[in-house]
Chains A and B, each alone.
Chain A
Amino acid sequence: MACALVALSAVQDCVPNEGGIIKSYACKLSDITTVTLTSGVVSGFTMSTTGLWKKYEYDKDATANFNQVGSLNGNRFTIEQTAFFKFRGIDAAYIDAANNAKDCCDVVLIHFLSNGTKLIQGLESQAATGSPTGTNNRTTRIVPTINTDTSANEARMEFTVAGNSNTFTLTTSLTDTAIEAL
């Protein structure tokens, strides 16, 4: 992308501006054959078959988040993308899900924010419709953790999803209904 500066203003009414993420959908990078862009926003995916986006409905306890932290090493700019969310309880299904998730080499997640914005983790930005590119510097993977903790707290499974990219995330105009239909 070429250098350009755009005027910005944070001056606005004091309407609620909640942070965090409220739900996510995940698939393997290899499940996506084409990303369709309309005016720089992802308006569609072509998948290798149907039913590949899996929904994550995690705990709504003000812990789920997705952060993109830029950094410079000399003149080299990179972005560490990290999502965190957790599911209360521990059972065989969670353990099975964790064992399967850890083996995925490259994943893509769509995170829903409470303001309606949807961020796509795991893809580099692209200028036109075409095949997707995963995060260039380090592939995006799910790192599950299963903690019993103590009786004072909740037993839980936590997912950290991390990758390192050259560009900030794309957004999508797809609704949750459309993603589930796909």
Chain B
Amino acid sequence: MKETKTDALTGSSKAGQKGYRMKAKARELHPNATTLVGSTPVALSGDRYEVEIPGDRNNPPTRKAVRGATQAELKALFQQGHPDIEEFEL
């Protein structure tokens, strides 16, 4: 996630506003870390990813996509005490 002190379009300051992101070390260890928000899986990195799920005796292989977590979802996870999410100044 890009950190900017000033909004590039309006030039207005965002001083005091908070953003939420996955901690760098956690992202390095588990770039596709995924959790549930409600019943929806989301990637903590904020980036969408896809993986191949191998088939088994009953199911063929499939591709599964996971969307990135939104700022609101990351904020909620941070407030719940998720250890891999941090708050930062915009």
Contacts and interface: CB of A to CB of B under 8 A. Distances in A.
Interface of A: 33-34, 36, 44-51, 93, 128-131, 174-175, 177-178, 181-182
A48 B33 contact: yes
Contacts, number: 67
Interface string B44-64: 100001010100110000001
Nearest to A128: B81
Contacts of B64: 50-51
A181 B41 contact: yes
A48 B35 contact: no
Contacts of B34: 46-50, 182
A93 B30 CA distance: 30
Nearest to A52: B34
B39 A181 contact: yes
B30 to A, nearest CB: 5
Interface residues of B, number: 24
Contacts of B44: 46
Contact of A33 (B26, B36, B49, B66): B26
A34 B51 CA distance: 20
B5 interface: no
Nearest to B52: A51
The majority secondary structure among interface residues of chain A is mixed
A51 B84 contact: no
A129 B84 contact: no
Contact of A46 (B35, B40, B49, B66): B35
A130 B80 CA distance: 11
A174 B36 CA distance: 10
A21 B33 CA distance: 30
Smallest CB-CB A-B distances: 3 pairs? A49-B32, A46-B35, A51-B53
A76 B44 CA distance: 41
B41 A33 contact: no
A115 B24 CA distance: 42
B82 interface: yes
B83 interface: yes
Contacts of B30: 33, 48-49
Contacts of B29: 33
Contacts of A177: 39
A182 B37 CA distance: 10
A36 B36 CA distance: 10
A131 B51 CA distance: 24
Given A36-B82, A93-B57, 13 more contacts: A33-B29, A33-B30, A44-B36, A46-B34, A47-B33, A48-B30, A49-B49, A49-B51, A50-B32, A50-B66, A130-B83, A175-B39, A181-B40
